[in-house]
Amino acid sequence: MSQNFHYGKDQLTARKALDIAEGRVRGVLLPEVMDRVRQSYGHVQAIVKEHRTVYGINTGFGPLCDTKISEEDTRALQYNILQSHSVGVGNPIPETISRLMLVTKVQALAQGFSGVAPDTLERIVWHIDKGITPLVPEKGSVGASGDLAPLSHLFLPLIGLGEVWRKGQRMPAAEALQLEGKEPVVLGPKEGLALINGTQFILSFAVSAVARMHNILEAADLAGALSLEGLMGTYKPFDPRLHAIRPYAGNQLVAHRLNTLLSGSGIMAAHMDCGRVQDPYSLRCMPQVHGASRTAWKHLEELTSIELNAVTDNPIIFAADDTISGGNFHGQPMALPLDYATLASAEIGNISDRRCYMMIEGRFGLPKLLIEDAGLNSGFMIPQYTTAALVTENKTLCFPASADSVPTSLGQEDHVSMGSISGRKLHQVIGNVEYILAIELLYAAQAVDFRRPLKSTPVLEALHAYTREKVTFAKKDRIFANDIAALHTIIADGSFVATATAAAKANGIDLNGPYNDTFRLS
């Protein structure tokens, strides 16, 4: 780790949050931040001693908000809420997402409006630094009063309950604490509520999705350019003059990338006078379709950046005599852009599938099913069945979870965001698109091989060569699932995009031009 991030002081971004969660950057608590946390903690102590009635400190929760809790029971109340609200079901979320939840919760609590004890905040940071990650079930949050169920599971280990991952092993939290020589934290008034009120489950899925979606958008332009070369399409629809008169920044970025990727291609030069008037939409309209999805990504990235540095607790403690019980925990501000991003990601898969279909039709000089001896060999007929299945699955996942609301908490929480479901669905869709793009790459590489000895541009040739390191040209049928798996790996892990970036840099090519800052993953 060559740098530190200062919780509660520095601005957190999606990339920084991932860097901390994945151990590349260390998050630290500065003395000035801890002074602010300590002051907020003191406000809560004063509220209890002075018997002021403040929600969640000396009252029950939700519909029990009018039930007074005695001073001696305020601590027990916090333990009870962690246990009673731990009702998650389903498989554990990925460990990285759990760690992102810890990181984003520390950033929120370190603002000094939640009343948690400094020792509690330091223990959460200890979990991050030591890689002792709480196990959180994937289902159970309605994304309204915060992500109550998943956050309860996340913080059970603080009091010696629940489960964790430690050095790759799943174990009871009590056992992990014992192995580390740590005692459970003693929670004070308000702390349990502060820990479980917030949008950190929704937010952590959004952070991860911002990175994953950015990768598939980059990969889609690259795979689309290779497909266009294999299909001997034209790059004229990517002329910047065309997009200057309909100046959506996402469209202009994609047009610039495609124009740059294809400029100077020997394949392109070989068919400049072929007589084709125009290409089908899945080639010609890549700037409009990919670009619209870029716009959706930008919207998600901007709102995620706001949420990463927000306080989503309730009640908010400004002073001992100045508290507000509001609704900053409500997930609606993230639920809507997550659903928008889900649709935008699905569209990348839809148009990619159409390019796949076009490459096996036997048009534009390519052999039917992309194989020379079709009949004896089925060739690349069936991988497109998989893209068809995946795009249809994505369509079923595009119903916006945020369009629904089921009242909870005996009607006290009568409108909920369902943003937790939005976040999980987005990742399912992105995962499917990664496979769709892998199949498009499989087809595009085969199609380009039929154009030899013609050559494309330096970046696209580098991508073709990298693809051929993973899968060979198919002369006859084989188990194409193995090829798909190999190419899925390089799409999903970002190495396909990284190869293009390196090739562009080596050849002095600027793929993103003036739009780099607008659409950079920060």
Question: Catalytic site residues?
Answer: 55
Q: What is the largest CA-CA distance in the chain?
A: 87
- The distance of Cα 381 from the centroid of its chain, to the nearest Å, equals 32
Letter string b/e over residues 126-154, b meaning 16 or more CB atoms within 10 A of that residue's CB: ebbeeebbbbbbbebbbbbbbbbbbbbbb
Look-up of token digits 């330096």: 458
Show Cβ contacts of residue 277 under 8 Å, excluding neighbours closer than 6 positions.
none
Helices within 22-115 (DSSP H only): 31-49, 74-84, 95-109
Give 16-22 contacts, CB < 8 A, sequence gap 24+.
Answer: 17/100, 17/103, 17/104, 17/107, 17/207, 17/308, 18/96, 18/100, 18/207, 18/208, 18/211, 20/103, 20/128, 21/96, 21/99, 21/100, 21/102, 21/103, 21/128, 22/96, 22/99
Question: Residue 220 corresponds to which amino acid?
Answer: A
Rg (CA), the chain: 26
DSSP reduced 3-state for 369: helix
Both structure tokens of 355: 């390019």
C-alpha–C-alpha distance, residues 87 and 78, integer Å: 16
DSSP reduced 3-state for 91: strand
